[in-house]
C-alpha cells in the first residue's frame, strides 16, 4: 500500500491487487482483524468498488461500534455511489453546473425512487459518526455534500433551498471544528468549495491524506465537487 501511494500507481495495477490478496489472506486466518478490514475499505475505495467498500465498512462497524471512522467511510461511500448518476442526470437535463435543483419532475422522481433510501442511509451513518465525535469536521463536510445532493432531487425548489442552507451551516460547523483543533492534521483552514471532498477512508494509515472538504459557496454560486474519476460499482 505504501508503494502504491508513493508511486501513484494505477488502481488496476499489480500493487493494489497484491495488497488486496495479502489482506484477504490475513482475514482468512483472522476474520476479525481490524487493520486488514480497514485496508480492504481503503482498497475498495481506490478501485471504485463501492459496494464492496460499504460491506467492509459495515463489518468494521459490527466489529467496533465505537469506531467513528467506519461510520464516516460508510457515509462517504453512499455519497460516492449516488453522485455520478445524479451528475449525469443533471447534465442531461441541461442544468447549469452552479445549480443543484433539477426542474424536470420526472428526473427528480426517478432519482428519488432509485437513491433516496441510500442517501438517507448516508445521513444516518454520518450522524452516528458525529454522535461519537461532535467535532468530526470531515463528517460535517459530507453532511454538507449529502444535503446538496438531496437538494437536487427533492420535489420543490423551496425544499431544495432549505437543504442548501443546511449544507452551508454544516460547512460553517466544519470550519469552526477545524479552528478548535488546529493540532489535528487536516487541509488548510480556508476550505475550497471547488476542490475534491475528503476521500472515503476508514483508516488514514492506509490512505493518502484526504484533501480539505468543500467549503460554503461564494455568494451566488454553489458548485458541486467533481465526480469520482471512475464509474462506481453500485
Would you say the C-alpha torsion 23, 26, 28, 34 has a positive or negative sign? negative
pLDDT averages per 10-residue partition of the chain, 234 residues: 82 92 96 92 90 95 95 93 93 89 95 96 97 94 93 94 94 90 54 39 35 37 36 44
Domain for residue 231, yes or no? no
Helix axes 68-92, 105-132, angle to 10 degrees: 160
Say what the pLDDT of residue 142 is. 92
Say what the pLDDT of residue 211 is. 35
Domain that holds residue 135: 65-206
Say what the pLDDT of residue 8 is. 84
Say what the pLDDT of residue 155 is. 93
Domain for residue 224, yes or no? no
Domain for residue 154, yes or no? yes
Domain for residue 162, yes or no? yes
**Are 70 and 202 contacting, i.e. CB atoms less than 8 angstroms apart?**
yes
What is the pTM assigned to this prediction?
Answer: 0.79
**Are 152 and 96 contacting, i.e. CB atoms less than 8 angstroms apart?**
no
Alpha helices in the chain (DSSP H): 2-7, 14-29, 34-46, 50-63, 68-92, 105-132, 137-151, 157-180
Say what the pLDDT of residue 185 is. 52
Q: How many domains does the chain have?
A: 1
The two most distant CA atoms of the chain are separated, in Å, by 55
Say what the pLDDT of residue 93 is. 93
Say what the pLDDT of residue 194 is. 40
Amino acid at each position: 500500500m505504501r508503494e502504491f501511494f508513493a508511486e501513484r500507481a494505477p488502481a488496476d495495477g499489480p500493487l493494489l491487487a497484491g495488497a488486496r490478496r495479502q489482506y484477504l489472506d490475513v482475514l482468512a486466518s483472522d476474520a476479525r482483524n481490524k487493520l486488514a478490514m480497514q485496508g480492504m475499505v481503503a482498497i475498495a475505495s481506490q478501485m471504485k468498488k463501492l459496494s464492496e467498500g460499504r460491506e467492509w465498512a459495515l463489518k468494521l462497524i459490527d466489529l467496533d461500534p465505537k469506531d467513528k471512522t467506519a461510520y464516516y467511510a460508510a457515509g462517504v461511500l453512499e455519497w460516492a455511489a449516488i453522485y455520478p448518476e445524479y451528475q449525469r442526470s443533471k447534465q442531461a437535463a441541461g442544468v447549469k453546473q452552479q445549480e443543484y435543483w433539477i426542474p424536470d419532475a420526472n428526473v427528480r422522481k426517478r432519482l428519488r425512487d432509485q437513491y433516496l433510501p441510500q442517501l438517507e442511509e448516508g445521513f444516518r451513518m454520518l450522524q452516528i459518526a458525529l454522535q461519537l465525535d461532535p467535532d468530526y469536521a470531515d463528517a460535517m463536510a459530507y453532511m454538507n455534500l449529502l444535503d446538496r445532493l438531496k437538494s437536487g432531487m427533492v420535489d420543490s425548489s423551496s425544499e431544495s433551498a432549505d437543504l442548501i442552507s443546511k449544507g452551508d451551516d454544516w460547512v460553517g460547523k466544519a470550519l469552526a471544528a477545524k479552528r478548535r483543533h488546529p493540532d489535528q492534521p487536516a487541509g488548510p483552514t480556508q476550505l475550497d468549495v471547488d476542490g475534491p471532498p475528503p476521500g472515503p477512508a476508514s483508516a488514514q494509515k492506509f490512505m493518502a491524506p484526504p484533501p480539505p472538504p468543500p467549503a460554503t459557496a461564494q455568494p451566488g454560486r454553489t458548485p458541486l465537487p467533481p465526480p469520482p474519476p471512475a464509474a462506481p460499482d453500485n
